[in-house]
A and B are shown apart, each in its own frame.
Chain A
Amino acid sequence: MSALRADTLVEYAAVAARDPAVRAQAVVACLARIEQWQPRINAFRRLDAPEHAADGALAGAPLAHKDMFYRAGRVSACGSALRRDWVAAETAAVLERLDAAGATTLGTLNMTEFAYGPTGQSETFGDVRNPWNTAFITGGSSSGSAAAVAARLVYGALGSDTGGSVRLPASVCGVTGLKPTWGRVSRRGTLPLSHSLDTVGPIARTAADCALLFDVIASPDAGDPQNSPLPPADYPAVAAGGVGGLRVGWSPALFAHCDGDVAAPVEQALAALRAAGVEVVEVEAPDIDGLSAHCMTVMQAEASALHGNWMRTRAADYESGTRARLQAGYAIPATVYVDALRHRTPALERFQARTLARTDAFALPTVPVRVPMLAETLPGAGADMARKLGDLTRYTRWVNYLGVPAISVPCGVDGRGLPVGLQLVGRPFAEGTLLALAHAYQQLTDWHRRQPVLL
């Protein structure tokens, strides 16, 4: 893609608008990079024959998506042997919209089985490897999406985020990922995991790229009963509109709980936001661990209910980690599940009234610990493994419980050279504000421009 002189989706769109011949060149360039990188990182599940690019905001832009967005007549394995040959009968609303905007879909991307796990491992289709160092995890569950974008195999990818599955792999792979407000993006034709928490969001190189993709997929859809009728903004315009007058809150206590080489880059990112004209102030932190516990209760109960028939008849066909997570959900009392849902409204209002009372967004690390090696997170890796896995999503799950939007942007590297992400959490439907803050940050820094090297 360097031959195109377009490292980002926005740059590609500008070049392709002037010269339509660039569309075919971009596909060829991406396919060449896939041929180079796929043996090392296993990001792709399947390559599809590129279809003729249509005109539109994404005319010809090479994309690929997590293998859980259905396309009629094609297999969506959803990372599982249980759906290895399952052919979708409908096309996901988000794919319909990207198609209409002219995007070229190169194929489907590997993922954690049924989007239920934080590491990106797959016993069924092989582990996705981190492009920055293949000994380390990518984060999950949108593992292939983040790895493919980081390695410049595609300009952008869709992921899903139920407890951090867009932001976590985006952070760990050094790219930008947006988790929208619950209900903002249609989930029609996508694999469900936990209907109260599931969201669909873009992963791309920059916040401006995410804004372009989000602008295409974020619009009301009567086909998804939980989709919000609120009109979307002009996200690219809002993202580029500046951050004058915006305030970001942070809580030092949450940084104190992080690995030191993770906290330091995120604190430097706050300094960069100040330099961009954002007022950064200390605020009261939300009860992250309490909210995360409620998130887990809801997610486990809903996911286990969804998988009940297969868990009764084909439990052995699940990967070991997925099966273990699903088993736990059947022991959650129904009244506890309902109370966890009932508590969401007061929890959201408390977050608004306390943490965001004087600010537009709340900043914290996306992942509070340094990126673990793959071997540290495999089944049987030791007694400490469960805690390590829990740490990965400790700073993301609470956001899904509150239903609010959040974005992760690359802001440095940890002591082992793996990427670190700054997470910004906003008010309901304030994706534009988050994109503007992230874009302003990326105007002053170059972490989003750094690329992994093929060794």
Chain B
Amino acid sequence: MTPLTPAAVSGALAAQGIEIAPGRAERIARALAPLLAAVVADAQSLAFDLEAPDFAAALARNASAVR
């Protein structure tokens, strides 16, 4: 996976009306690179039908018998 470029960071923030100081985009790109890579790597194992709201049910399903 190619990390976000500073230009992509600047563009994403500008599109949402968020202003940042010069040089900040580079730091954000560096900080986000391992986070995004981790998600993309783990997403390869996700079942197609798995939806995010399933999590609350998963907690209940895995609830300890002893509280």
Residues of A with Cβ closer than 8 Å to B? 181-183, 196, 226, 228, 230, 232-233, 235, 238, 290, 293-294, 296-297, 300, 308, 311-312, 315, 324, 327-328, 330-333, 336, 338-349, 352, 360, 386, 403, 426-433
Would you call the interface of chain A mostly helix, strand, loop, or mixed?
A: helix
Give Cα distance in the complex from A336 to B37, angstroms.
Answer: 9
B59 touches A182 (CB 8 A): yes
Contact status of A342 and B46, CB under 8 A, knowing A327-B13, A331-B13, A331-B32: yes
CB within 8 Å of A: which B1-44 residues: 4, 8-9, 12-13, 16-20, 24, 28-29, 31-32, 34-36, 38-40, 42-43
Question: Looking at the complex, which one of B42, B60, B63, B67 makes contact with A343 (CB distance below 8 Å)?
Answer: B42
Contact (Cβ within 8 A) B28 A428: no
B56 touches A348 (CB 8 A): no
Q: What residues make up the interface of B, taking CB atoms closer than 8 Å to A? A: 4, 8-9, 12-13, 16-20, 24, 28-29, 31-32, 34-36, 38-40, 42-43, 45-46, 50-52, 54-56, 58-60, 62-64, 66-67
In angstroms, Cα B12 to Cα A143, docked, is 34
Do B13 and A344 have beta carbons less than 8 Å apart?
A: no
Smallest Cβ distance from B32 to chain A, in angstroms? 6
Majority-rule SS of B interface residues? helix
Using Cβ atoms and an 8 Å threshold, which residues of chain B touch A297?
Answer: 35-36, 38-39
A349:B52 contact, CB within 8 angstroms? no
On whether A332 and B32 interact (CB within 8 A), knowing A315-B19, A342-B50, the answer reads yes
- Inter-subunit contact A183/B32 (CB<8 Å): no
Q: Which residue of A lies closest to B11 (CB)?
A: A331
List the B side residues contacting A431 at CB < 8 Å: 67
Task: Give Cα A290–Cα B43 distance, bound, in whole angstroms.
Answer: 12
Interface contacts (Cβ under 8 Å), in number, total: 131
19 example contacts (A-B, Cβ-Cβ < 8 A) are as follows A228-B59, A293-B34, A311-B18, A312-B17, A327-B20, A327-B24, A328-B31, A328-B32, A330-B18, A331-B8, A331-B12, A339-B42, A341-B55, A342-B50, A344-B52, A348-B59, A348-B62, A403-B55, A432-B66
Cβ of A290 and Cβ of B38 under 8 Å apart?
yes
> In the assembled complex, which residues on chain A have CB atoms less than 8 Å from the CB atom of B31?
328, 386
Q: In the bound complex, what is the Cα–Cα distance between A438 and B39 (angstroms)?
A: 34
Residues of chain B within 8 A (CB-CB) of A352 are 62
Within 8 Å by CB of B39, from A232, A311, A340, A403, lies A340
Please give, as numbers and ranges, the residues of chain B lying within 8 Å of A330 by CB-CB distance. 12-13, 16, 18
Contact assessment for B46 and A346 in the assembled complex, using a CB-CB cutoff below 8 Å: yes
Q: How far is the CA of A183 from the CA of B14 in the complex (A)?
A: 35
The 6 closest A-B pairs by CB, nearest first: A430-B64, A233-B67, A341-B52, A427-B64, A293-B38, A345-B58
* Bound form: Cα–Cα A150–B21 in Å: 40
Residues of A within 8 A of B59 (CB): 181-183, 228, 348, 403, 428-429
Please tell me which one of the listed residues A327, A338, A360, A427 contacts residue B28 in the complex, with CB atoms under 8 A apart.
A327
B residues near A182, Cβ cutoff 8 Å: 59
* Residues B24 and A294 in contact, CB atoms below 8 Å apart: no
Query: Which residues of B lie under 8 Å from residue A340 when comparing CB positions?
Result: 39
**Across the interface, which residues of B come within 8 angstroms of A386, CB to CB?**
31
15 additional A-B pairs beyond A315-B19, A330-B18, beta carbons within 8 Å, are: A290-B42, A293-B34, A311-B18, A312-B16, A312-B18, A315-B18, A324-B24, A330-B12, A342-B43, A343-B42, A343-B46, A345-B50, A348-B58, A428-B64, A429-B64
